[in-house]
């Protein structure tokens, strides 16, 4: 592939034994090349202290000033080849990004905030644009790239994913149209348009980042990356999807999940659920509402607080298994037969407030509104065990739950696209190059993919894990197997 990195003839390089006083200094943040020591006798100090203007102006007060000396514009890459000291900022700007350097990580990787103007409709150049916000951890144009979808807005920022660490490479996190508050015409919010956004990013960067690419994501982000691979199978070399559910509307496969977990713990969760909706509701509900207001400033205008409390109670066992579920977590649950209202409030709120805002609050619906549009449009959503609670009069039959949710205010709910839904599920089962990772105690795993034997996809299972399981959650043999899968697909050796 074409690269912006320009090789400089070795004879032009003033080889030197070290920096002044033999004190090595790391290269400036914007440099792409490894640290190289120079004597300074030629008037430049590439890699020894502050960069000179004639080294592409990287990091200098007046980029581009000074006399260009080709010998100053060279460093050595990891393979010993002389390379041009290209400013990462300049290269990214040339690719069409608005670039804001954000410093360096603890290990010296360069951090960049990026903004890209994406077409509202990639099939209509006159449709206008919206901003896409990306965060880049840069270690080298010749190193692997981990392209990540969060499935929502870009909440990861510069947090480094374990796969990035495994690859010792670069990381680029995408945010997602409409989830980031950009966009108002939801007819432009389709899986294909989301995939088009990612494709546009990759096309702009593939000639810069010339090593292998993987696409990865957790939960809804994993679904997005599988969809991206379906639409653009050659954009990345491999895909890793953690905890990615493939569902239909009101998917009843999820009801049986609660029969697979520790029975005593599930019984305790259901007992707490019943008592906070029943005998102790008059004490627990106002206490929870007060905590929600004090800790998060939550308001309830779209959904009244009583219905929000019921929705949280309905999802209480689900949320416990999704984010908790260890033996210690189970042992810490209070006995509702003897627990005080304070004990029940603490146990209930600590689980149901996991999102940093209370379920079905205005803030919750604002953050997840675009996701709820997606699930009602093509993703589907899980059914929750509600029949017994309805029969006992503890919740209303038509209660809007946390999984189907509500589309953004003022937006018409979409008609479910069953054809797109089944097409993606079939690709996940029959496609190639995707590694799925699921956890046996994660309720979302009820929507897991089982790749067909003839497909090129593979599945791994985490024992006793929840929805937060990562690469390191796998057993050592499975870590080795996933690493081998990636090495084969990426065509590289992973150290």
In sequence order, what DSSP letters do the residues of 400-428 get, joined into one string? Answer: --TTT--PPTTPPPPPP-HHHHHHHHHHH
Task: Output the pLDDT for position 34.
Answer: 34
Asked if the model's pLDDT at residue 317 lies above 90, the reply is yes
Asked if the model's pLDDT at residue 16 lies above 90, the reply is no
Report the C-alpha gap between 346 and 120 in whole angstroms.
Answer: 45
Band of pLDDT at residue 180, cut at 50, 70 and 90:
confident
Task: Output the pLDDT for position 194.
Answer: 97
Residue 50: both structure tokens together: 């502050």
Residue with tokens 């089982």: 450
Report the C-alpha gap between 298 and 361 in whole angstroms.
Answer: 6
In three-state secondary structure terms, 112 is strand
Strands 98-104 and 238-242: unpaired
Task: Output the pLDDT for position 81.
Answer: 54
* CB-based contacts of 426, cutoff 8 Å, min separation 6: none
Band of pLDDT at residue 89, cut at 50, 70 and 90:
confident
Give the CA count within 13 Å in the CB-facing half-sphere of 239. 29
Asked if the model's pLDDT at residue 251 lies above 90, the reply is yes
Identify the weakest region by mean pLDDT among 1-10, 141-150, 166-175, 206-215: 1-10
CA separation, residue 68 to residues 52, 65, 88, 272, 436 (Å): 10, 8, 18, 73, 51
89-247+422-490 CATH fold: Rossmann fold (3.40.50)
Q: Where are the domains of the chain?
A: 1-86, 89-247+422-490, 255-391
Band of pLDDT at residue 181, cut at 50, 70 and 90:
confident
Packed helices 305-314 and 316-323: angle between N→C axes, nearest 10 degrees: 50
Report the C-alpha gap between 417 and 409 in whole angstroms.
Answer: 21
Asked if the model's pLDDT at residue 27 lies above 60, the reply is no
Band of pLDDT at residue 121, cut at 50, 70 and 90:
very high
Identify the weakest region by mean pLDDT among 31-45, 276-290, 328-342, 477-491: 31-45
Asked if the model's pLDDT at residue 35 lies above 60, the reply is no
Task: Output the pLDDT for position 140.
Answer: 87
Per DSSP (E only), the strands in 219-336 are: 238-242
Phi-psi map region of 447: left, alpha, beta (phi>0 left; psi -120 to 50 alpha): alpha
Residue with tokens 């969809």: 227
Report the C-alpha gap between 264 and 337 in whole angstroms.
Answer: 15
Task: Output the pLDDT for position 67.
Answer: 36
Q: Which helix (H) or strand (E) holds 103?
A: strand 98-104
Q: Which residue from 406, 376, 382, 378 is spatially nearest to 192, judged by alpha carbons?
A: 378
Question: What's the whole-model pTM score?
Answer: 0.84
Task: Output the pLDDT for position 30.
Answer: 41
Per DSSP (E only), the strands in 139-224 are: 145-149, 170-174, 213-218
In three-state secondary structure terms, 130 is strand
Report the C-alpha gap between 315 and 269 in whole angstroms.
Answer: 11
- Do residues 493 and 212 lie in contact, with contact meaning Cβ atoms separated by under 8 Å? no
Report the C-alpha gap between 119 and 387 in whole angstroms.
Answer: 45
Residue 355: both structure tokens together: 């999102």
Mean predicted confidence (pLDDT) in 210-224: 97
- Count of CB atoms situated within 10 Å of the CB of 479: 15
**High-pLDDT (> 70) share of the chain, %:** 83
Encode pLDDT of 44-69 as tens digits. 334 333 334 344 434 334 433 333 34
Q: Identify which has the larger pLDDT, 106 or 1.
A: 106
Report the C-alpha gap between 227 and 196 in whole angstroms.
Answer: 10
In three-state secondary structure terms, 237 is coil
Asked if the model's pLDDT at residue 15 lies above 50, the reply is no
Band of pLDDT at residue 90, cut at 50, 70 and 90:
confident
Asked if the model's pLDDT at residue 460 lies above 70, the reply is yes
């Amino acid at each position: 592939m074409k690269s912006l990195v320009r090789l400089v003839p070795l004879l032009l390089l003033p080889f030197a034994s070290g920096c002044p006083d033999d004190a090595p200094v790391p290269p400036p943040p914007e440099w792409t090349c490894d640290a190289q020591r120079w004597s300074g006798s030629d008037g430049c100090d590439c890699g020894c202290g502050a960069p000179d203007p004639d080294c592409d102006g990287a990091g200098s007060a007046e980029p581009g000033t000074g006399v260009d000396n080709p010998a100053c514009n060279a460093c050595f890459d990891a393979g010993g080849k002389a390379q041009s000291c290209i400013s990462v900022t300049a290269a990214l700007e040339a690719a069409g990004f608005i670039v804001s350097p954000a410093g360096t990580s603890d290990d010296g990787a360069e951090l960049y905030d990026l903004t890209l103007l994406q077409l509202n409709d990639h099939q209509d150049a006159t449709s206008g644009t919206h901003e896409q916000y990306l965060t880049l951890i840069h270690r080298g144009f010749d190193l692997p790239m981990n392209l990540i979808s969060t499935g929502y807005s870009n909440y990861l920022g510069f947090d480094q994913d374990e796969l990035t660490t495994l690859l010792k490479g670069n990381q680029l996190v995408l945010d997602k149209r409409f989830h980031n508050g950009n966009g108002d015409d939801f007819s432009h919010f389709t899986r294909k348009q989301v995939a088009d956004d990612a494709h546009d990013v990759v096309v702009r960067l593939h000639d810069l980042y010339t090593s292998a690419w993987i696409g990865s994501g957790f939960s809804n982000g994993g679904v997005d990356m599988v969809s991206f691979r379906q639409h653009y199978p050659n954009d990345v070399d491999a895909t890793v999807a953690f905890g990615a559910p493939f569902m239909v509307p009101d998917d009843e496969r999820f009801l049986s999940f609660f029969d697979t977990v520790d029975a005593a713990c599930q019984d305790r969760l259901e007992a707490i659920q019943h008592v906070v909706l029943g005998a102790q509701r008059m004490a627990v509900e106002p206490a929870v509402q007060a905590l929600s207001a004090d800790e998060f400033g939550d308001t309830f205008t779209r959904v009244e607080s009583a219905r929000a409390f019921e929705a949280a109670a309905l999802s209480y066992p689900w949320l416990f298994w999704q984010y908790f579920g260890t033996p210690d977590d189970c042992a810490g649950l209070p006995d509702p037969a003897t627990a005080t209202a304070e004990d029940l409030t603490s146990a209930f709120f600590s689980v149901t407030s996991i999102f940093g805002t209370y379920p079905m609050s205005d803030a919750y619906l604002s953050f997840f509104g675009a996701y709820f549009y997606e699930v009602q449009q093509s993703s589907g959503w899980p059914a929750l065990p509600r029949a017994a609670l309805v029969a006992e009069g503890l919740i209303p039959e038509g209660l809007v739950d946390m999984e189907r949710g509500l589309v953004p205010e003022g937006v018409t709910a979409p008609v479910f696209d069953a054809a797109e839904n089944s097409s993606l599920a079939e690709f996940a089962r029959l496609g190639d190059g995707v590694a799925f990772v699921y956890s046996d105690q994660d309720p979302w795993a009820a929507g897991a993919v089982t790749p067909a034997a003839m497909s090129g996809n593979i599945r791994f299972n985490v024992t006793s894990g929840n929805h937060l399981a990562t690469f390191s959650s796998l057993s050592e043999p499975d870590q080795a197997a996933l690493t081998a899968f990636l090495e084969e697909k990426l065509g590289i050796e992973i150290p």
